[in-house]
Amino acid sequence: KQSQIQDDLESWVDRYREDASKGKCAAYIPALAKANPEQLGICVIGQDGSKAVAGNWETAFTLQSISKVISFIAACIHHGISYVLQRVDVEPTGDAFDSMIRLELHKPGRPFNPMINAGAITVSSLLEGDSTEDKFDSLTSLIESMTGRQHQINEEVYKSEWKTAHRNRALAHYLTATGFLGCPAEEALEVYIRQCSIEVTTEDIAMIGLVLAHDGYHPLRQQQLFSKEIARLTKALMVTCGMYNASGNFAAFVGVPAKSGVSGGIMAAVPPRGRKGETPFGDGCGIGVYGPAIDQYGNSVAGTALLGQIAGAWDLSIY
């Protein structure tokens, strides 16, 4: 049965790899444009640690916006949910992830949600610690508690984004003017861009998805890493805002809480569906996908198509 799952994944990866030609690697962060757009890889990890992989699943890539999920969790662990929600709302926008228009339209300018850049920079400013290093460390230790290994940043991607972060810099300074940041603008920006540059593989993000699928409980370490309330709020945000302004389509046609990043990663958390044995991974799983060619919304084209196929075949939709 395990080998059937593996064979299916291999053949779907071969089929959907072709969809990459409908997208392009992100180029507004110049270092990301160097990725080979034809890559597609996947890793699925079940509640008992069983793992199915296919394609370029071992390729390292940067977290980018997937890091917004983890920083939100870390800020909620540190301050409590209600404090964080005073600084950032939980409402989807239908705007691009880097949009700034609503900040001024809706006074006093609380960012609409933590998955758009304005909200994510705000969340990064609230991480535990008095310096950029401490804030960044508090985030990486949460990531490492889930993936079980140490992570470095990709210096080239970090420098490339730092030099070209004009919109994010504008957002951070605007948020300082309106009083929503918990630390100086340039510090918040540095933490945010560093967290976006953390290197992972599909296996790492599948592990993070697995913990979220189990409401903050790490089934392999047998440890509750954060509360059920934080996990549920985070998954609700993934469903409504995780794929940016394509979240509605993703909910309709894939139907699992997920978060994408412009480097082409998608992290999905598939909760247990009470169908153990009937379909693969019926008792929940985490899925990590990597396919660097992205669409106009910033989501992996081949990765989204692959997830749609798997969700259909394995009956993964939560709806």
- Which residues form the catalytic set? 65, 68, 192, 244, 262
Between 87 and 194, CB nearer to ligand GLN: 194
When binding is defined by CB under 6 A, the residue of 196, 208, 237, 311 that contacts ligand GLN is: 196
Annotated binding site for substrate: 65, 117, 161, 168, 192, 244, 262
CA atoms within 13 A on the CB side of 157: 24
Do residues 164 and 27 touch, judged by C-beta distance below 8 A? Answer: no
98 binds ligand GLN, rule: CB under 6 A:
yes
- Tracing tokens 């004009």 back to the chain, one arrives at 166
Site string for ligand GLN, 253-292 (x = CB under 6 A): --------xx------------------------------
- Tracing tokens 């239908």 back to the chain, one arrives at 94
Got the DSSP string for 239-259? Answer: HHHTTGGGHHHHHHHT-S-EE
Do residues 300 and 269 touch, judged by C-beta distance below 8 A? Answer: no
Please, which residues have CB within 8 angstroms of residue 202's CB and are 6 or more apart in sequence? 41, 42, 43, 53, 57, 58, 59, 265, 288, 289, 290
Q: How far is the CB of 220 from ligand GLN (least distance, A)?
A: 27
Residue sitting closest to ligand GLN (CB): 65
Which residues on neighbouring strands pair with residue 199, listed in sequence order?
Answer: 62
Compute the distance between CA of residue 113 and CA of residue 110 in angstroms, rounded to an integer. 9
Compute the distance between CA of residue 191 and CA of residue 127 in angstroms, rounded to an integer. 9
Which parts of 111-170 interact with ligand GLN (CB under 6 A)? Answer: 117, 161, 168
When binding is defined by CB under 6 A, the residue of 114, 286, 298, 303 that contacts ligand GLN is: 298
31 binds ligand GLN, rule: CB under 6 A:
no
Q: How far is the CB of 151 from ligand GLN (least distance, A)?
A: 16
Annotated binding site: 65, 117, 161, 168, 192, 244, 262
Q: How far is the CB of 169 from ligand GLN (least distance, A)?
A: 10
Q: How far is the CB of 293 from ligand GLN (least distance, A)?
A: 14
Where along the sequence are the contacts to ligand GLN (CB under 6 A)? 64-65, 97-98, 117, 161, 168, 196, 261-262, 298
